[in-house]
Amino acid sequence: MFIHITGTGSCLPEKVVTNDELSMRLDTTDEWIFSHTGIHSRHIAAPDECTSDLAVCAAKKALEDSGVTPDQLGMIIVASSSSDYLGFPTVSCLVQEALGAKQAGVLDVQAACTGFIYAMQVARGLMQFDPRPTLVIGAETMSRVVDWSDRNTCILFGDGAGAAVLEGKETPGGIRDAILKGDGTGSGMIFRAGGVRAVPAEQGKLPFLRMNGRAVFNFAVKIFDEVLSALVQRSKLVLNDLAQIIPHQANARIVEATARRMKVPLSSFFMNMETTGNTSAASIPIALDVLNKTGKLKAGDLLATVGFGAGLTYGGLLMQWTKPLLQHA
Ligand SMILES: CC(C)(COP(=O)(O)OP(=O)(O)OC[C@H]1O[C@@H](n2cnc3c(N)ncnc32)[C@H](O)[C@@H]1OP(=O)(O)O)[C@@H](O)C(=O)NCCC(=O)NCCS
């Protein structure tokens, strides 16, 4: 059985916050932010909107795109590092209730910005035992996790959700390979407390995200190369065989440095962080949905995703786009 993506969906909050608006309350400028990140604006959730709401909105669109109904789902997997609740219930439980997906199991995956890649591989594995359609979602309300007085971090992030419906079919193609990796030696590079371990420096403060941006930047460029090279080599391909590379939408300068290092044209990489910012686990499925809905993916196209995040976690997927073939089969 081959695991195919048969539908995608995404959802961004209505409210847009531009760099110019940020510069009215922070010591920063549109020029600095755009030149260092490629980001001009990001979407920010309304006060009564959060991760599961965005997840449900993206999920409904992905289900509609695939033709799968909620009662056909065998599993709902949500990747998020900004869950509705610090404890429980999980986001996937809230999504299951909202969709009325009565037959589905529910699971949350926490791998920070690499979460969607991890969730896809978990889904692919579980579907070997239960081949019913699976809904995989990356959803975040990063605006509730960042410290809006810290110009080093708050300018980077945005809110949103993306979803994909996976179905098992006999037709070859779909998800062909996955690389999941971790490097706990970098656990201090991106950090957010709020669990049961007391962190003296953070006591009494809200558990905001903290980051060593320069160290993360260098790590990202190195692992983009490592993961993309391994994905193509393992399948006896070359980078030019990839119709699209969908990187985690963290920073356009990371992508540009990767393209230079790997001697790949920048046009091979899809980027939309200019208007979304870094939506963490949602960034790759949102980008995939934009490509799908704007007709940029052709039957048989080889796609690679690559991502990194707190943990440190990193990884990638190699996929063959088959949605048009399956629809017309
Ligand atoms: C965060 C990031 C944009 C910072 O860019 P950078 O070129 O590395 O900048 P530095 O951190 O070296 O800071 C350079 C200067 O700019 C300043 N600066 C930082 N943020 C600023 C902002 N928003 N506006 C203006 N100046 C800023 C710093 O204070 C520093 O000033 P100093 O030299 O007086 O100390 C960049 O490192 C980055 O994107 N890293 C990866 C982060 C990431 O992707 N995280 C998500 C992980 S999933």
Is 212 among the residues known to form the active site? Answer: no
- Catalytic residue, candidates 50, 93, 113, 154: 113
Is 11 among the residues known to form the active site? Answer: no
Percent of the chain with pLDDT strictly greater than 90: 93
CB contact set of 294 (below 8 Å; sequence gap of 6+): none
Query: Superfamily assignment of 1-329 in CATH?
Result: Thiolase/Chalcone synthase (3.40.47.10)
Please give the helix or strand (H or E) that residue 230 lies within, else none. Answer: helix 213-234
Give distance in angstroms: CA of 193 to centre of ligand 1: 21
Chain segment 9-22, per-residue pLDDT in tens:
999 999 999 999 99
Per-residue confidence (pLDDT) for residue 203, from 0 to 100: 66
Handedness of CA 269, 270, 276, 281 (dihedral sign): negative
pLDDT at 206 over 80: no
pLDDT at 4 over 90: yes
Handedness of CA 255, 320, 288, 70 (dihedral sign): negative
What number of other Cβ atoms are within 10 A of residue 266's Cβ?
12
pLDDT at 87 over 90: no
Give me the residue spans of the domains in the chain: 1-329
Sequential DSSP letters for 22-42 = HHTTSS--HHHHHHHHS--EE
Tokens of 73: 């789902």
Per-residue confidence (pLDDT) for residue 169, from 0 to 100: 96
Degrees to nearest 5, angle at CA 265 with 259 and 271: 70
Pairing mode of beta strands 2-11, 134-141: unpaired
Tokens 């990371």, located at residue: 254
Per-residue confidence (pLDDT) for residue 204, from 0 to 100: 64
Is 154 among the residues known to form the active site? Answer: no
Confidence band of 328 (pLDDT split at 50, 70, 90): low
Contact residues of ligand 1, CB 6 A cut-off:
28, 32-33, 36-37, 113, 151-152, 155-156, 190, 211, 213-214, 216-217, 250-251, 278, 309
